[in-house]
């Protein structure tokens, strides 16, 4: 019996392949990439080729997406678990808070958090967070609400099943049922939610970096395009824009195929 749907396998292979390619080409062998790049040098940075900057940027964007997606999924999972454990009016109040956070647009809130974080860093109170850490923290603080809602709903559905009722009837407490019975059934869904957060985090980071608000070093894909957008407009930048765009699209395609296939696959209540 197939455990992982074919679409999810394809999506995961695409994601891992892009990650490996960006690591090998952008970080391990940048000289080889520089000498073989068919797109030539970047118009605003004559010492670097378009391929070096695009693959280097992909590596940074992917790293930000993985860390921020993972952290926001974890926070969402914790909030959902707490909400289900406390139940009643507290759960409803928690969900109202989750909805309020969810209603705010990611890009706007990340911009405000970046402004706050950078002001703290300039005053020497960064708490050890560099630009990378600050971006991951901002994205996680914005992105946990969606996963929290999804996990809470999935937990509520799973709790209605017979095996949970049996476990409770045998004296299983809330945390025991959650850890032993619900978590194994929730794991594939958690992976799907994480994969669905990945492109959102990458695109939000790209947009905020494009505005020049985030100080990502080395440059992510968004910052790479954002630092030279005036030159791209006036000198025509399709040669520069298209590779970065293609990499972003492939990244999103991989993550969304894997996420959709995993969340649609039959749920096993083990």
Partner 1 sequence: MRSVLQKLARQLVLVPLVAVASYFLMAMLPLTTESEAKRQVSPELAASYRRDLGIGEPLGFLRPWQKLWRGERLGTSAQGVTGDELARKLSGSVGVGLLALPLALTWALGFAMVRTRWRRGRWAALGDVVPALAFGTPVFIPALLLAPAVVERGNMLPELCAALVTSIWPGIFLGTLVGDSLETELSRDYVRTALGKGLAPGTVLRRHVLPNVLPALLDAVGPVATALLAGSFAAERVLGLPYFGQLYVLAVLNKQVAVVVVATTTFASLLVVVSLAVELTRYAVDPRSREARA
Q: Rule CB under 8 A: which residues touch partner 1?
A: 7, 96, 99-100, 103-108, 111-112, 114-116, 118-120, 122-123, 125, 199, 203, 206-207, 210-213, 222, 225-226, 229, 232-234, 236-238, 241, 244-245, 248-253, 256-257, 260
Q: Which long-range contacts (CB under 8 A, 24 or more apart) does 93-102 make?
A: 95/149, 95/152, 98/145, 98/148, 98/149, 98/152, 99/145, 99/149, 101/142, 101/144, 101/145, 102/145, 102/146, 102/149
* Nearer of residues 181 and 223 to partner 1, judged by Cβ: 223
Q: Give dist(CA 65, CA 55) in Å, integer.
A: 15
Nearer to partner 1, 164 or 257 (CB): 257
CB of 241 vs partner 1, minimal distance in Å: 5
**Min separation Cβ 175 and partner 1, Å:** 31
Nearer to partner 1, 163 or 211 (CB): 211
**Shortest distance, CB of residue 182 to partner 1, whole angstroms?**
28
Which residues touch 8 (CB under 8 Å, ≥6 apart)?
Answer: 257, 258, 261, 262, 265
**Residue 162: CB minimum distance to partner 1, A:** 28
Find the shortest distance in angstroms from Cβ 135 to partner 1.
14
Q: Is 227 helix (H, G, I), strand (E, B) or coil?
A: helix
Based on CB atoms, which residue is closest to partner 1, 181 or 197? 197
Measured from the CB atom, is 108 or 166 closer to partner 1?
108
User: In the complex with partner 1, which residue's Cβ is closer, 165 or 249?
Assistant: 249
Beta bridge partners of 49: 41
Per DSSP, the three-state class of 5 is coil
Judge residue 46's burial from the number of C-beta atoms within 10 Å of its C-beta, 0-12 exposed, 13-18 middle, 19 or more buried: exposed
In the complex, minimum distance from the CB of residue 35 to partner 1, in angstroms, rounded to a whole number = 27
d(CA 98, CA 59): 31
Rounded Cα distance, 49 and 196, in Å: 32
């Amino acid at each position: 019996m197939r455990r992982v749907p074919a679409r999810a396998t394809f999506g995961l292979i695409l994601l891992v392949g892009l990650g490996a390619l960006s690591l090998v080409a952008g970080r391990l062998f940048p000289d080889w990439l520089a000498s073989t790049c068919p797109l030539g040098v970047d118009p605003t940075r004559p010492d670097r080729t378009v391929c070096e900057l695009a693959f280097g940027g992909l590596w940074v964007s992917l790293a930000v997406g993985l860390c921020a997606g993972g952290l926001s999924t974890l926070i969402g999972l914790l909030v959902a678990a707490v909400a289900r454990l406390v139940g009643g009016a507290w759960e409803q109040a928690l969900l109202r808070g989750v909805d309020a956070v969810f209603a705010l647009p990611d890009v706007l809130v990340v911009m405000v958090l970046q402004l706050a974080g950078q002001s703290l860093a300039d005053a020497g109170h960064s708490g050890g967070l560099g630009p990378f850490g600050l971006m991951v923290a901002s994205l996680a603080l914005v992105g946990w609400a969606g996963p929290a809602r999804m996990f809470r709903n999935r937990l509520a559905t799973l709790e209605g099943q017979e095996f949970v009722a049996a476990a409770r009837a045998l004296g299983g407490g809330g945390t025991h049922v959650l850890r032993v019975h619900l978590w194994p059934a929730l794991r594939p869904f958690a992976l799907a939610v994480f994969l669905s957060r990945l492109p959102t985090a990458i695109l939000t980071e790209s947009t905020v970096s494009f505005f020049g608000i985030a100080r990502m070093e080395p440059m992510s894909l968004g910052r790479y395009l954002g630092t030279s957008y005036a030159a791209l407009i006036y000198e025509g930048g399709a040669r520069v824009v298209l590779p970065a765009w293609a990499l972003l699209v492939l990244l999103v395609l991989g993550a969304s195929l894997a996420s959709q296939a995993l969340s649609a696959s039959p749920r096993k209540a083990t």
